[in-house]
Amino acid sequence: MAPVTTETRPPDGRRGAGDPDRLAELEAERSFLLQSLRDLEAERAAGDVDDHDYETLRDGYTKRAADVLRQIEVGRAAPPAGRSTPWTRRLVVIGAVVAVAATAGWLMARSSGQRLPGDEITGDGAGSDVAALLSQARTSFDDPQRAIELYGQVLATRPDHPEALTYRGWLIFLVAQSAPDDQQADLVDRARDDLDAAIDADAGYPDPHCFLAVIAGEVDADADTARGEANRCLALDPPAEVRSLMTPFVESLTPATTEN
């Protein structure tokens, strides 16, 4: 796959800066990241995290927390926005939070000897490399190009890895939102390809269904497909952060056409 080089942020970095919904999302992400740092310190004190993983996660959390704090300050100084945040923008933070939360799950599973989908049987070699790349990707959502590249490295080793397919696809879709008009359709198609492949790789993984629902609703204006994908997502018991947005998303869709 060719690299995604389109810049995802506007030149002044302030689009929607004063939007109260966006500020609420940033506040929630800040709280999550600060709690994650506290949890990480506790895990290190308990001996559940080695020095390399601790430093990688600490640096990733700290960098993202600093970026979020800067965005909050900019948002508070900006005039209030007059329009609500689109679903794609509202789900950016949710996608990042869920991916970061997966890091903690990976650490807990690894410390207890549990294997996760896509992991190697042994903790050495390729399996360790994949886990390290995933950890880096999950803490790089503030740099979508970097996260896409990291997920691509995972897929070079494990082409059927459901998480890497899902979140590379979602990030490509987010990139498409601010891409030039002549690039958007191709990027959205690439995003769909990754999400469809993730479903083929793991039919029980809810996240790609959630993101396909948003694409169907926001890009295609296809409420029936969006509702179907969203309901599949919810039926597969997604993380609470995703469920809290997908439920009102379904309710916001135009009611399905019924025959008289």
Indicate whether 199 and 96 sit together in one domain. Answer: yes
Q: What is the mean pLDDT of residues 74-103?
A: 57
Indicate whether 118 and 243 sit together in one domain. Answer: yes
Q: What is the mean pLDDT of residues 37-56?
A: 82
The pLDDT value given to residue 144: 83
11 belongs to a structural domain: no
Residues in CB range of 244: below 8 A, 6 or more apart: none
- Give the chain's domain count: 2
Indicate whether 127 and 244 sit together in one domain. Answer: yes
Identify the band that residue 22 occupies on the pLDDT scale cut at 50, 70 and 90. low
Q: Who wins on pLDDT, 99 or 77?
A: 77
12 belongs to a structural domain: no
The pLDDT value given to residue 195: 96
Q: What tokens were used for 175? A: 């990139």
Q: Residue 119: pLDDT above 50?
A: no
Q: Residue 4: pLDDT above 70?
A: no
Indicate whether 121 and 230 sit together in one domain. Answer: yes
The pLDDT value given to residue 114: 40
pLDDT tens for residues 131-153? 888 878 877 777 888 889 999 99
Name which of 127, 118, 122, 132 is nearest 53 in CA terms.
132
The pLDDT value given to residue 91: 58
Q: What is the mean pLDDT of residues 91-108?
A: 50
209 belongs to a structural domain: yes
In DSSP notation, 41-100 reads HHHHHTT-S-HHHHHHHHHHHHHHHHHHHHHHHHHHHSPPPSSPPPHHHHHHHHHHHHHH
Indicate whether 120 and 58 sit together in one domain. Answer: no
259 belongs to a structural domain: no
**Long-range contacts of residues 71-80, Cβ cutoff 8 Å, at least 24 apart:** 71/17, 71/26, 72/23, 72/26, 72/27, 72/30, 74/13, 74/14, 74/17, 75/17, 75/18, 75/19, 75/22, 75/23, 75/26, 76/23, 77/17, 78/14, 78/17, 78/18, 79/18, 80/18, 80/19, 80/20
The CATH number assigned to the domain holding 185 equals 1.25.40.10
Indicate whether 124 and 220 sit together in one domain. Answer: yes
pLDDT tens for residues 207-219? 899 889 989 988 8
pTM of the full structure: 0.62
The pLDDT value given to residue 31: 77
Indicate whether 192 and 92 sit together in one domain. Answer: yes
Indicate whether 179 and 221 sit together in one domain. Answer: yes
Q: What is the mean pLDDT of residues 162-189?
A: 89
Indicate whether 177 and 143 sit together in one domain. Answer: yes
For 79, the domain range is 17-87
Q: Residue 34: pLDDT above 60?
A: yes
User: Rounded to whole angstroms, how far apart are CA atoms 153 and 198?
Assistant: 16
